[in-house]
Amino acid sequence: MNAEGAIGSARAHAPPAAQRRFGAVEWGLTAVLALVWGASFLFIRVGIDAFGSGLVPPLRILFGAAALGSFARSRRPIAREDLGRVALLGFLWMALPFLLFSIAERTVSTAVTGMINGATPLSSAAVFALWQRRRPSARRAAALLAGFAGVSVVAFAATGAAHGTADVPGVVMLFGAIACYGVSANIAPALQQKYGAMPVIFRAQFVAFALSLPYGLWALRTAHFSWVGLFAMVFLGALGTGIAYAILATLVGRTDSTRGTIGVFLTPIVATLLGVFVRHEDLSSWTFVGSALIVAGAFLTSRPERAGP
C-alpha cells in the first residue's frame, strides 16, 4: 500500500505546469486509488480469516505480478548492476511489510491498521532527513510532529482495554512495516526515474514472492479453501498490488506529485469507514482525532519544501 516510491518516475515525466489540470478524470482516478488502497486492509483481514496470515503475502504478490505483467512496459529490461537494489526493494517494500501487516491484522482492527498506514509519508520524510543528514524546515518538522503525535494517539487509544481494537505486539508490527516503507520510498525513486515505476515494481514482486513462498507453503497445513478469500486475494493483488501503481503513475503524470497523491491520504478514511460499517469495529473518539492528525501531517509533509536562498 505504499505509494511514495512510485511517484518518482511519473514526476520526472510530468507535463508543464500550465498543462496540468485536475478535472473529472483526475478526481475519478483519485477515487479509485482511495477505494482500492483503503479497502485493501479489509481484504487482508478476509484473506487471513480464509487462508491464514502466511498465505496472504504470496497470494497478493502473485496476483499483483500477473496484473502488472499484462502491461508491456512492465517487462522493460533492468541493468544487472541495479538488480541488487531491486531485490532489496522486494524484501523491504513487499515481502517483510506484507507479512507484518498480515500477522498484525489478526489482533488489530482494519480501521486502526488503515489509520497507522496513513503515516507512511511521515516515515518516508523522516528517513529522508536522517539519510541525507538534512534538518527539515520548521513547517515540515511541525507536520512530522503532528503526524507522529496522531500515530501515538491512535496506538494508545486502540490498545486501551475499553475498546480492544488492537494489541501492543500488533501495533509494533505495523510500526515496523511503516518503517520498511519509509526506507523503500528513499531507495525506489532513483531506480524508477531510470527505468520507470512499473518495471521496478514488477521485478521486485518476483523477489518478494520467492521470499514469501516458504512461509506460505508452511501455512498450507492449516489453510482451507474459500471462494470469498480467493476473491479478496485477487482484488488485493491484481488491483492493490498491481494496477493501482499504474493508475498512480498516470495520475501523477497528468497532474503533479502533490495533487496526484491525494488518494493516498484518503485511504485511512476509506479503511476506517469500512472497518466501522462492514466489520462493526468499535473506535474511540480519540482514535478519530489521531487519524485526523495523521492525515493532516502526511499531507503537509508531502508538499514540496520551499527553495532556499
Report the pLDDT averaged over residues 156-181. Answer: 83
pTM of the model: 0.84
Residue 287, C-beta contacts closer than 8 angstroms, at least 6 positions apart: 111, 112, 115, 153, 154, 157, 158, 163, 165
Report the pLDDT averaged over residues 259-277. Answer: 82
- Residue 10 CA to residue 221 CA, distance in Å, equals 43
pLDDT for 231 = 94
pLDDT for 13 = 46
Which tens digits make up the pLDDT trace of 207-259? 999 999 999 999 888 888 889 999 999 999 999 888 887 787 677 667 665 56
**Cα separations in angstroms, 172 against 109, 207, 227, 271:** 14, 25, 31, 19
Which tens digits make up the pLDDT trace of 86-145? 999 999 999 999 999 999 999 999 989 998 888 888 888 888 888 878 787 888 788 888
Q: How confident is the model at residue 3 (pLDDT cuts 50, 70, 90)?
A: low
pLDDT for 2 = 59
Report the percentage of the chain scoring pLDDT > 70.
86
Q: Is the pLDDT of residue 155 over 60?
A: yes
Q: Is the pLDDT of residue 74 over 50?
A: yes
